[in-house]
Amino acid sequence: MRNLTRLAALGAALALMLTLGVSIGASAADAPPATYSTILDPLVAPSTLPAPITLELAPTTAPATTAAPTTSSTTTIHVHPPAAPPPLPAPIPPAVSAGELPAILVAIRGCESHHDYTARNPRSSASGAFQFIDSTWRAYGDSRWTRAYLAPRDAQDAAALRLYRASGTSPWNASRSCWG
């Protein structure tokens, strides 16, 4: 019964460690065993891995009975915590910061789409926060997006600023009664 209890505890510990990506070695003096990280990610240099945590199961001795006491061997388990993920790349600065957009364009954006960058006009090709028609978007917008509503905020703001610098507010004359 004693051996079954010890075996069950060892089995549960091993199952938990395998779930956590743990490797098992014979002793701390052995060469470091392969870990979950080094098997699945060969680009992680072993020197970048955290030091292993070593757990030892102490030998057990049977309680004094009429039979001779027995001692089991020591098992060392190396637990290697997962390596930290690489740092995120630096964010790409927006084409137009909030402070650079003239107040008149903020007002136009509010009138044209209620500041909805995904707005689409069901009666024309106008879309995006500034309601660019497709031909104007092709001329002033970012070519990575075929329609204004598909572009992120900073790309739409930058296109509106380019159009405003080229043509003033005239492209938005239809909504002048709202923002003018």
- Tens-digit pLDDT profile for residues 74-85: 566 666 667 777
Measuring CA to CA, how many Å separate 5 from each of 32, 138, 168?
Answer: 29, 73, 82
pLDDT of the residue at 100: 81
Tokens 């090709």 locate to 125
What average pLDDT score do residues 83-91 get?
Answer: 68
Burial bucket for residue 157 (CB in 10 Å: 0-12, 13-18, 19+): buried
Residues of the chain with CATH 1.10.530.10: 98-179
Q: Helices 153-167 and 103-113: crossing angle, nearest 10°?
A: 110
pTM of the model: 0.48
Residue 41 banded pLDDT, cuts 50, 70, 90: very low
- Residue 25's pLDDT band, with cuts at 50, 70 and 90, is very low
Average pLDDT over residues 81-107: 71
| Residues 160, 132: Cα–Cα separation, whole Å | 9
pLDDT exceeds cutoff 50 at 120: yes
CATH architecture type of domain 98-179: Orthogonal Bundle (1.10)
Q: What is the DSSP letter of 132?
A: B
Q: pLDDT category, 34, cuts 50, 70, 90? A: very low
Among all chains, which residue has been given the structure tokens 């740092």? 87
Distance CA 10, CA 57 (A): 9
| Rounded Cα–Cα distance for residues 168 and 105 (Å) | 10
pLDDT, residue 164, reads 95
Question: Left (φ > 0), alpha (ψ -120 to 50) or beta: where does 96 sit?
Answer: beta
